[in-house]
Amino acid sequence: PIQKIPKSVYVPAATLILANTYFKLKNYYEALAYYNLVCSRHRDDEFTPEARFQTGKVYLMINKPEEAISAFQSVRREYPQTLFAEKSKMELAKTFFEMNRFKKSLSLLAEIAKAKPISVYTEPDILIYEGNNYYQLGRYRNARDTLLRAINLHPDIESNHFILTRIADTYYELGAKESSYKFYNLAIKEYPESDGALISSIRLASRYKKKGDDKISLLPPIGIDSSDYRLYSNPHELYEDIIKRHSDNPISQFIMLKIAILQQQDEEYEASINTIKRILKKFPLTELEKDVLQDSYNALFKQDIKKQKYITILNHYERDKDFLDTSDSPETFLAIGEAYRALCLHNSAFSMFQKADKFFLEEDRPPELLFGLGESLFRNSDLKTAQRLFADLVQKYPDHKDVPFAYYRIGQILLREKKYNEAEKNLKIALANYHNKLSRADIVTSLAETLQGRKKYNKAITRYKEVITLLTKQNSFEDLYDVYISLGGLYITTGDNLNAARTLESALEMKEKDDGTGRHGVMLRLAGCYQRLGKTGNALELLRKISASQDTLWGRMATEQIKEIDIRQKIGESKS
């Protein structure tokens, strides 16, 4: 009749029926068009209040709450004596709640209850929304009492699983944690497949209590057999149980994400990473999950760096390289770079530090990056760039823990450039502030080398002796051998052949079983000391051992010295 008989008395009703049909079919824009048609063409008709009310409902469905409020208010204003005016007041209260306008929502609910006291018995939403408004306003005692009243008056409503969970929340906020656990469990027990049960499970997972031997006790409500409740040995067993029980829930992705976050909060970073990976098997990676995964990796790597578990970090990296290489977190690359650096894989370390460097302007580089880049370049012999980075570190972050090490590296670089005075200054600063990561013996060794370069031989000898004392205490015999060689050479330079011989003898004693060419070179130098000390027999004994070896270079040199000694001896004999 709408098109054929537009002036028929049945047109408003027919139009409203058509609009309601579209509404039920969720074709909201078509429904809105027909509701508006009723309101505009039949303003004073008996069907208009319902059409105007339904207009508000459509606006809610298409996420236009302000327009919905306007529609509901117009019903109350223009048709105050109708049933839809009362309904509009309730819808307004709900809408204000959803818009976080809790006080306004409470005010409307109070009006409804005052105007029609019996409505709290016939309309469960009044008490439910009142209780939730109180909760959002932090009035937890009012919220608890109101929701308890709601569930007692309306024990069979569909949303009771949510109400039980909210009551548990109020008890928790009021400090009555045991009571809150009972109500969470009641929601799980009575409505096991519901969203309320899921929310209660998540709440329990995040608020678990440890009892006795660290088992997690989920306390059953009064009157319910405790055998129905599990005792979890650890929180992660509880998390796994939640995933298992709710794996088919449409929001299972959210469930696992929430559990990953809880695991992260428990500092169980590897478990959190594995939970996110389980999400990836069923769902594409969202930004939020990516952030949780990234945060867990960063926290895990930070933890492993402190424990010096460098291989563990690199195993994680190799296993999840595809994700980690696309990270937008420089902390990830800094940690992996540090692991490579600690294991002396300096090319790989430099590659990671370079990736981290892309996230910073040159002037904003953090100290860990400056040190990592500098150390990697130093190890790869790019000394000029390394020196510049170390200099930036000591200038910008003078109190950072790696600054003494940076001064040490700068001193070493200057030493190689034979800038002995500048090298000594930097090495002394390093020595004054050294810590466990930096060996005092290494610094003093470099200081001895600077003094030797400046021809301050006696001071250099004193420094080498200090190094020998330090290394002896540390049982660092491999390093001690090298220091003995350096000190022996310094004694030879100063003409102190006696101390040179003693020092080189000490070096040889440390490597008695070493048949390497380095030992033959030391023996040749020691033989020279013996000759200058007049111990020709001792010198010849060493030289013959070298000559008899398969080392052609040192053997040939030893043979020549033997011939020279023989000639000198014959000349001496002829003179006598």
C-alpha distances in angstroms, 305 versus 337, 342, 540, 566?
11, 10, 55, 63
- The reported pLDDT for the residue numbered 232 is 59
Burial of residue 549 (CB within 10 Å: 0-12, 13-18, 19+) is: middle
- Token pair of 320, please? 């999840």
Burial of residue 394 (CB within 10 Å: 0-12, 13-18, 19+) is: buried
- The reported pLDDT for the residue numbered 205 is 73
- Token pair of 311, please? 């291989």
| pLDDT tens profile 256-276 | 787 888 788 878 888 888 888
Q: What's the rounded Cα separation, in Å, for the pair 379 and 546?
A: 35
Q: What's the rounded Cα separation, in Å, for the pair 337 and 371?
A: 11
Where the chain has pLDDT below 50, the residues are 1, 4, 210-217, 219-224
- Per DSSP, helices labelled H in 246-309 are 252-265, 269-282, 287-306
- The reported pLDDT for the residue numbered 220 is 44
| pLDDT tens profile 554-573 | 888 888 888 888 887 777 66
User: pTM of the entire structure?
Assistant: 0.63
Q: What's the rounded Cα separation, in Å, for the pair 402 and 419?
A: 23
Q: Which residues contact 458 (CB under 8 A, 6 or more apart)?
A: 494
Contacts from 71-76 at CB under 8 Å and sequence distance 24+? 75/49
- The reported pLDDT for the residue numbered 3 is 52
DSSP three-state, residue 393: helix
- The reported pLDDT for the residue numbered 564 is 85
Burial of residue 63 (CB within 10 Å: 0-12, 13-18, 19+) is: exposed
Starting at the edge strand found earlier in the chain, the sheet holding 231-232 runs 210-211, 215-217, 231-232
Q: What's the rounded Cα separation, in Å, for the pair 531 and 341?
A: 47
DSSP three-state, residue 191: coil
- The reported pLDDT for the residue numbered 39 is 85
Is the separation of the CB atoms in 347 and 382 below 8 Å?
no
